[in-house]
Amino acid sequence: MEKRFKNRSEAGKFLGQKLVEHVQGADVLVLALPRGGVPVGLEISRILEAPLDIFLVRKLSLPGHGDLAMGAIATGSVRTLNQSVVRAFGISQHVIDTATERAEAQLRHEERLYRGDRPGHVVRGKTVVLVDDGLAAGSNMRAAISAIRQQHPARIILAVPVAAPEACQEIRSEVDELICGRMPDPFMAAGLWYRDFSPVTDEEAQQSLERAAKYQLAGAHH
């Protein structure tokens, strides 16, 4: 049995140490998926002395088929469509636009909630370290990667403390580098590989992002 992480902070420190040699000399931006990815990302951003931001993804659900996604919208108003679903269901542009508007409104609300009035970070030309607290099926992560790609980063490094081996295999080709701390088989669920996996509240995520912004400010003044 592989050793479990004490909590998300310990997992972030573990990944941060692994990442140091991968990002030397690069202009790095750490993007965390909410909410569990934020405390992991906080430790990584501290070790790499890089800014931390939240990266939100909202599925565009097919009307009447709540669990079927016809695409996704992400931070920066980047939309990706699942063309095979759009074609299979003959979805009109009007339906897509309506779903997009609704998702964008939710996204803006969440971004204000987490980020306050701090502006988002520019992705173009940066080495993006994309972080979550675990990788199971990976559909949200895929949508995030695809949306980040459209913003022209120099490269994308996906860093997760624990992942299902098959999810890692499938997603490996979509990023420039993949760092999985543990790949237990059977995987079952990310929470099993932490001693403390209690839910991260909106407030805790906000505080982590504020702390990261303060570190950055302090670092800039040195």
Which tens digits make up the pLDDT trace of 162-208? 999 999 999 999 999 999 999 999 998 999 999 999 999 999 999 99
Q: Is residue 1 part of a domain?
A: no
Same domain, yes or no, for 49 and 128?
Answer: yes
180 φψ region: left (φ > 0), alpha (ψ -120 to 50), beta (else): beta
Range of the structural domain that residue 64 is part of: 58-115
Same domain, yes or no, for 125 and 173?
Answer: yes
pTM of this prediction?
Answer: 0.91
- Cα 54 from Cα 198, distance rounded (Å): 19
Residue 221's pLDDT is 60
Please choose, from the candidates 168, 204, 192, the residue with its C-alpha nearest in 3D space to the C-alpha of residue 40.
204
Q: Find the CATH number of the domain harbouring 215.
A: 3.40.50.2020
Tokens coding 51:
């800014």
Q: State the average pLDDT over residues 39-66.
A: 92
Share of the chain above pLDDT 90, in %: 73
Total structural domains in the chain?
Answer: 2
Same domain, yes or no, for 166 and 211?
Answer: yes
Same domain, yes or no, for 49 and 86?
Answer: no
What backbone torsions phi and psi does residue 166 show, to the nearest 5 degrees?
Answer: -70, -35
Same domain, yes or no, for 35 and 126?
Answer: yes
- Cα 88 from Cα 168, distance rounded (Å): 28
Q: In sequence order, what are the beta bridge partners of 127?
A: 28, 155
Q: Is residue 2 part of a domain?
A: no
Q: Is residue 30 part of a domain?
A: yes
The SS3 assignment for 16 reads: helix
Same domain, yes or no, for 71 and 43?
Answer: no
Same domain, yes or no, for 135 and 209?
Answer: yes
Lowest mean pLDDT among 74-78, 98-102, 198-202: 74-78
Q: State the average pLDDT over residues 85-107.
A: 93
> Over the stretch 26-40, which tens digit does the pLDDT of each residue have?
899 999 999 999 999
Residue 51's pLDDT is 95
Same domain, yes or no, for 99 and 126?
Answer: no
HSE-CB at 172 with a 13 A cutoff on CA atoms is 10
Please choose, from the candidates 41, 38, 51, 31, the residue with its C-alpha nearest in 3D space to the C-alpha of residue 148.
31
Question: Across all residues in the chain, what is the average pLDDT?
Answer: 92
Peptide bond into 186 cis (omega under 30): yes
Same domain, yes or no, for 47 and 127?
Answer: yes
67 pLDDT exceeds 90?
no
Residue 177's pLDDT is 96
Same domain, yes or no, for 95 and 139?
Answer: no
> Over the stretch 113-157, which tens digit does the pLDDT of each residue have?
998 888 889 999 999 999 999 998 888 898 899 999 999 999 999
Please choose, from the candidates 2, 6, 26, 34, the residue with its C-alpha nearest in 3D space to the C-alpha of residue 140.
34
Q: State the average pLDDT over residues 43-47.
A: 96
HSE-CB at 71 with a 13 A cutoff on CA atoms is 25
Same domain, yes or no, for 107 and 214?
Answer: no
- Cα 182 from Cα 192, distance rounded (Å): 12
> What letter would DSSP give residue 192?
G
- Cα 100 from Cα 108, distance rounded (Å): 12
Helix, strand, coil % (nearest 5) of the chain?
45, 25, 35
57-62 β-sheet, strand order? 57-62, 65-74, 78-81
Q: What is the gyration radius of the CA atoms in the chain, in angstroms?
A: 17
Same domain, yes or no, for 153 and 192?
Answer: yes
